[in-house]
Chains A and B, each alone.
Chain A
Amino acid sequence: MEFCADPSLISGWRWLACYLTTPKHQLFYLSFLTVFALLAITAPVVLLMGFAGAVARLSSFAPLRWLGTIYTSMVRGVPDVIFFLFVPIALDQLVELTRHKIKCPQVTDAVYRGNEFIVCSEAKMPLQDAAAWVHQGWGFVLAVIAFSIVFGAFAANTLFGALNAVPEKQLETARAFGFTERQTFRKIHVPQMWTYALPGLSNLWMILIKATPLLFLLGIEDIVYWARELGGSKTGYFAYPHPDWRLWYFLGLLVFYLLLTWLSGKVFDRLNQRFNRQNIDQQVLKPIEAGR
């Protein structure tokens, strides 16, 4: 905007309007998209991983069952934050190590030297001279993978419980009518499972939303990063000097998260109502609810 040309000459609302539309602020607004992108990509992947984990745990093939059990219980017993720190670093090192082995086989020095992890520069991921967005993008991919693994395990637990909650009689009836095991699973077991899974999944979605600031921990320039960055006090050296406004920025994030979880709650309530009205043998559901 024209009148923003020299910020030192304006004040009041004009100043604020100019201030809130600086390029840095636009990056801040864009970083909300990062949060939404994370949610949008992670949620379906989590469901898939959870489904695979739950089915593996139910498998009659023992090694697969063990794998499913190990996967779900491993994550349950460890604080999430540890996983979020561990998985990206481990993945990063694994990828770089593999690239190191392939790209520069002539280097004979050990990769682990004392406390350091050193690969040849061609093996860096991304390359040292890559653009900033490539670094950010790679960090984001690692974050998505970490989120998917951790929340996939939670989802696997939920779906496993839900699959077990489907009354055996419903499945037995299908078998009595000549359904194959596969047909029984696809046509009766899975469709009925959702009703039991929904409360757990809605809970998980809320936790997932609330876990998104962990992006900051992984070095992604997310909304927390920008809130800190922009909120910090700015001396006269800056075009828009101001005292420490971090409180206001974080208050903004607070409101954002509250709105998001509140809205999600509404949507899940709707879904729940619909499922309960139609899909469930009320006689069967009651004792299960009471047991929770």
Chain B
Amino acid sequence: MIELRDIHKAYGHIEVLKGISLTARRGDVIALIGSSGSGKSTLLRCANLLEIPQRGDIVFNGDTVRWANKLKGRQPADKNQVRRMRTNLSMVFQQFNLWAHMTVLQNVTEAPVSVLKKDPQLAEQQGRELLEKVGIGDKCDQYPSQLSGGQQQRAAIARALAMEPAAMLFDEPTSALDPELEAEVVKVIKTLAAEGRTMLIVTHDMKMAFDVANHVIFLHDGVIVEQGTPEHVFQQTQSERLQQFLHATGTIG
């Protein structure tokens, strides 16, 4: 479904990703863990081309992103291909990034209507159902600034779901939240995992990674140091780096 092949990304002279490959099949839930600055967000942003990797390929549903060499470096050759990919790969951001000038319901219906050309009435009906599903059906007509962080993040998840995406990307969906609010969001993510959705989750929450993911990838300094099933990674840790990391985050020891 999503395949990243040998992704390299540098900002100026700083190499952030030094050749990362990963494959997510339908129904996979992959957790990306690693210390701050290890390149997790960058990798996720490369997956939907918010960042353009200098080397490496991205394959989505058998469709390989085509490149063109422009003055400012490598760029996607086909804007429509990029848009097609993005509509199938919804992203949930750490800071929610709900559109501040729209109500919660408008946030959820805007992209389906303008991008997918969905009938506005149908979009609204489905939007309400989705907001109900994530537990904030009563907040439809409020503005994002009137919601708590946990409610905003659940609205952002509903917005992503409204695109009926083939896969979802989460960039630290809970790290801007208080522990209580975090639980609300984790619950929603668990539901989605149980539904068999394909998800790539960057997280600091080792417990969620353990509970939700079927594959865990530990990233350090732009390379994959260790990966495998949650049991494998958390309970039969091989590398010293990962052991240190798990100690530091209080997961073991």
Contact = CB atoms under 8 A, between A and B. Distances in A.
Interface stretch (B84-92, B194-202, B233-241): B84-92
B145 interface: yes
A178 B144 contact: no
B93 interface: yes
Given A183-B115, A187-B110, A178 B86 contact: yes
A177 interface: yes
B114 A170 contact: no
Contacts, number: 67
Nearest to A180: B83
B198 to A, nearest CB: 17
A173 B115 contact: no
A178 B115 contact: yes
Nearest to B101: A279
A247 interface: no
Contacts of A284: 100
Contact of A172 (B50, B83, B163): B50
B100 A176 contact: no
A179 B115 contact: yes
Determine which residue in A173, A175, A177, A284 has the highest number of CB atoms from chain B within 10 A of its CB, and name it.
A177
Contacts of B100: 170, 192, 279-281, 284
Interface residues of A, number: 23
Nearest to A179: B115
B101 A192 contact: yes
Contacts of A183: 114-115
A106 interface: no
A82 B90 CA distance: 55
18 contacts: A169-B97, A173-B91, A173-B99, A174-B99, A174-B111, A175-B86, A176-B91, A177-B91, A177-B115, A180-B79, A183-B115, A188-B99, A192-B99, A192-B100, A279-B100, A280-B101, A281-B100, A282-B145
